């Protein structure tokens, strides 16, 4: 199998290492020139819960190479179309696309490449790329691979078998990708969104006044939205623990600090969209969604003032709700 990994940040670097160790032919595509130079010089280095190094080929958009059997998307969901466009000549009729992006990004991917070719990996992973390009994996529970179009999940079985041969117990196929996505959203959207607002990693954020309560409320909103969309509600747990990020800053906060657009639309945005369709209130996620968008635009900065504003908006949302 010949695979292109698009994006060589934390998740892209980890994916490239896992696939390389599983004996898959991997080519990495990355826009950051300094990261390209680093991979060519020192390879991809991963430490922590997963460790090792790989020396994949670095591809260049526009060069003529053999087509890929799979495109793995490990960059921000907002740039999916721009990332895939220059690589469109490098696919064949059976090429599939696997999203490693946050939240419900596979829905947008399906709109671009077709439902039958869109797949996603629900990543129960906490990882970060340090300034030198090395990837630290704080926790690695599993990768759950599934198809956007039910009945197509068997396409993922060869890649899962290859990964399982080298990393036993870390990869599996699901016939219910949407259900698995809701499970991950419950903790990930709450923790990532709140950390983006306060500008702190989970261990620090959890100790802030009112954050633990808001995190629990946000997780509960996601459970209710999932239930209203035909998903069996999960048992309430600790979103701080289930999100897996502890010392590591969640991707949304890392994106804000780097001046990149976040994937808020596929996290809190997805929860708000489904909840509104079911006519149920989700004031915490609604407030997180609007405030993170304003932080992206520079109207607010993460920190204590943003947290105060978040609490004000949640109270206002609750006051307006008639449900």
Residue-wise pLDDT for 53-82, tens only, equals 999 999 988 787 899 999 999 998 888 999
Q: What does pLDDT average to over the chain?
A: 94
Q: What is the mean pLDDT of residues 143-167?
A: 97
pLDDT at residue 322 tops 70: no
Distance, CA of 252 to CA of 75 (rounded, Å)? 12
Q: pLDDT band at 1, cuts 50/70/90? A: very high
Q: Does pLDDT of 254 surpass 60?
A: yes
Place 323 in a pLDDT band, splitting at 50, 70 and 90: very low
Position 108 pLDDT exceeds 60: yes
Closest CA to 69 of 5, 151, 146, 2: 2
Q: What is the pLDDT of residue 236?
A: 73
Joined together, the tokens standing for residue 23 give: 């004996």
Element (H, E) at 204: helix 202-205
| Calpha distance 173→160 (Å, rounded) | 7
Give this prediction's pTM.
0.93
Quick count: other Cβ atoms within 10 Å of Cβ 34? 10
Whole-angstrom distance, CA of residue 173 vs CA of residue 161? 10
Percent of the chain with pLDDT over 90: 89
Domains of the chain listed by start with CATH number: 2-175 (3.40.50.720), 179-320 (1.10.1040.10)
């Amino acid at each position: 199998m010949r695979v292109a990994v698009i994006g060589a940040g934390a998740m892209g670097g980890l994916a490239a290492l896992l696939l390389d160790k599983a004996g898959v032919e991997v080519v990495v595509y990355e826009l950051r020139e300094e990261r390209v130079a680093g991979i060519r010089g020192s390879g991809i280095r991963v430490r922590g819960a997963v460790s090792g190094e790989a020396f994949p080929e670095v591809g260049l958009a526009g060069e003529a190479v053999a087509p890929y059997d799979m495109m793995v998307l490990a960059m921000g969901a907002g740039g999916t179309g721009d990332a895939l466009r220059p690589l469109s000549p490098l696919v064949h009729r059976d090429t599939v696309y696997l999203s490693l992006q946050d939240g419900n990004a596979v829905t947008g991917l399906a709109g671009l490449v077709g439902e039958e070719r869109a797949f996603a990996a629900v990543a129960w992973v906490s990882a970060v790329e340090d300034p030198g390009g090395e990837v630290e994996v704080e926790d690695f529970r599993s990768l759950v691979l599934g198809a956007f179009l039910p009945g197509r999940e068997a396409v993922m079985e060869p890649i899962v078998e290859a990964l399982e041969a080298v990393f036993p117990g870390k990869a599996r196929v699901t016939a219910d990708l949407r259900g698995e996505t809701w499970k991950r959203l419950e903790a990930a959207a709450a923790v990532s969104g709140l950390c983006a607002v306060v500008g702190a990693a989970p261990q620090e954020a959890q100790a802030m006044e009112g954050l633990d309560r808001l995190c629990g409320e946000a997780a509960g909103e996601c459970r209710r939205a999932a239930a209203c969309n035909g998903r069996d509600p999960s048992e309430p747990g600790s979103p701080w623990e289930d999100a897996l990020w502890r010392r590591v800053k969640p991707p949304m906060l890392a994106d804000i600090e780097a001046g990149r657009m976040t994937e808020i639309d596929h996290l809190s945005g997805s929860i708000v969209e489904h909840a509104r369709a079911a006519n149920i209130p989700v004031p915490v996620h609604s407030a997180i969604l609007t405030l993170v968008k304003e932080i992206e635009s520079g109207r607010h900065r993460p920190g204590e003032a943003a947290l105060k504003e978040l609490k004000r908006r949640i109270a206002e949302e609750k006051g307006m709700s008639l449900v």
